[in-house]
Structure 1
Amino acid sequence: MESATVGSTRGRRERLRAETTAEIKQVALELMASGGPDAITLRAIAREMGMTANAIYGYFATRDDLVTTLINDVYTSLADAVDAAWDTAPAKDPARRIQAWASAFRDWALANPEGFRLIYGDPVPGYRAPEGGAAPDAAHRVCTGLTALAAAAWPHAGHLYADSDFQWSDFDAGLLGKVRPAFPDLPPAAVALALRMWGHLHGLVSLEVYGHLHTQTISPDKLFREELAQLVRSLGIVPKG
């Protein structure tokens, strides 16, 4: 009986700790949304939550520890979303796969604007990521996913880049360490294509997340769909169905 009581107490404490940790992270993102990246401070979060500054240090020893956790959570959420979209699209329909990945990226960004700004917007002033990065696994998955877009398009678009003069030396060694093992048959021009595709997608999504399209169009979703359709056409891919 005593053992059951101890276990119940421990479970309650763990649940409360998890809830408080989740609230700390949510408040941090809200502060960033309203005050920018430099608004993320442990003291400000403690004040918003009605906690003492010392109490919050029991959850995160430093501000950088919190930011690293946030980046990892956010990046993992994004990687999960785009991976799931890619996997559900027919493997034999590259147009659908590209559109599914891209649409999932936009949908995630619009649903998580603070998270998007944290990983793709202005850096948190003074933040120092741990060695290897804040979210190495998730970043690897997103990077590999982008290259998969180019790999899906390459059988259709490769001839369009026959005169490309890209060499492996034109790319960051860290990037190549992620994508070449996953796609050993792709040439350097295909990696360049992946980056250009990324520019198409990221540019419009960034404009929308940061509110720059609201005064330009009432149909940003239509604009994005048209951009995707044009991208697929430019790659020589004919959508199926």
Structure 2
Amino acid sequence: MSRGGTTTRRERLRAETAAEIKEVALALMASGGPDAITLRAIAREMGMTANAIYGYFATRDELVTALVHDVYTALADAVDTAWESTSGADPATRIRGWAHAFRGWGLANPQGFRLIYGDPVPGYRAPEGGAAPDAAHRVCTGLAGLAASAWPHARHLYAGSEFQWSDFDPGLLDKVRPAFPDLPPAGVALALRIWAHLHGLVSLEIYGHMRPQTLSPDKLFHEELTQLLRAWAIAP
């Protein structure tokens, strides 16, 4: 950063090159799977020397960490925006908004979705605390928000629930309980059920398993949401 807080031309060029490296990495993953993400392969695609690319990312794992951080943050931004834009709306509208934002982002960014939720990069070791802890926190909190919206309508369905706090990962509870202190253990289970439904359908679609079965995957997703809302006694 130059004096006065403005970005220098050299800094801009470096940022643009780093962004291009990430784009090429995702393109290589699209064509060759996660094994294809190597610094040497990226250097070849960009017409750079291997030594030059090491000046941007010292290791393959450092690049993957940067990719996961960027991708996960973009997803968190998308679902957070959908949630905030429906503030004050009825629970069904808020849940639909979050769910459609999640699916829309995944379909628009299939390689990013596969990177954070599907195909592990062989040998990759994330830094302690994860590659994108803030984004992961925001997505988890968003899912808990969906459950909190549904809970007043769905609580009677869990009258005999045997869920205890000890049934859940402490790291998950550290994120959820401060944000939604009134949500009981069964409500956390509800959040995970919501996640399973949404993630399952979107994953099938992104991996190409849905299109051969139906010409209207968007209609199927919409209907699944409608049935979930009805099961929780939330008027669509």
TM over 0.5: yes
Q: CA deviation at 1:90?
A: 4.1
Secondary structure of residue in 2 paired with 1:238: coil
| Aligned counterpart, 2:211 | 214
Q: CA deviation at 1:92?
A: 4.0
| Aligned counterpart, 1:22 | 19
Distance 1:187 1:135 in 2: 27
The two structures, once aligned, show a CA RMSD in angstroms of: 1.4
| Aligned counterpart, 2:143 | 146
TM-score (norm 1): 0.94
Name the amino acid aligned to 1:190: G
Distance 2:196 2:91 in 1: 19
Correspondence for 1:11 among 8, 13, 30: 8
Deviations 1:59-86 (A, max 9, x none): 0011000000000000000000000001
| Aligned counterpart, 1:43 | 40
Distance 2:87 2:53 in 1: 47
The answer to whether the 8 A contact 1:153-1:237 is kept is yes
Residues 1:174 and 2:171 aligned together: yes
Distance 2:88 2:57 in 1: 43
TM-score (norm 2): 0.96
Structure with higher Rg: it is 1
Q: CA deviation at 1:91?
A: 2.4
| Aligned counterpart, 2:66 | 69
Correspondence for 1:112 among 109, 114, 137: 109
Distance 1:90 1:55 in 2: 47
| Aligned counterpart, 1:33 | 30
Q: CA deviation at 1:154?
A: 0.3
| Aligned counterpart, 1:97 | 94
Deviations 1:163-216 (A, max 9, x none): 010000000111111101111111100000000010110000000000001110
Name the amino acid aligned to 1:113: P
Name the amino acid aligned to 1:11: T
Correspondence for 1:225 among 203, 222, 227: 222
Distance 1:68 1:90 in 2: 33
Residue ranges of structure 2 left out of the alignment (5+ in a row): none
| Aligned counterpart, 2:123 | 126
Distance 2:123 2:176 in 1: 30
**Stretches of 4+ aligned residues off by more than 3 angstroms:** none
The answer to whether the 8 A contact 1:90-1:96 is kept is no
Deviations 1:121-173 (A, max 9, x none): 02110001001000000000000000000000001111110101000000011
| Aligned counterpart, 2:81 | 84
The answer to whether the 8 A contact 1:109-1:205 is kept is yes
Q: CA deviation at 1:56?
A: 0.1
Count of aligned positions? 233
Residue ranges of structure 1 left out of the alignment (5+ in a row): none
Deviations 1:85-124 (A, max 9, x none): 0111142400000000000000000000000000000211
Distance 1:12 1:157 in 2: 56
Distance 1:221 1:90 in 2: 24
Distance 2:23 2:189 in 1: 36
Distance 2:149 2:89 in 1: 9
Name the amino acid aligned to 2:186: A
The answer to whether the 8 A contact 1:32-1:114 is kept is yes
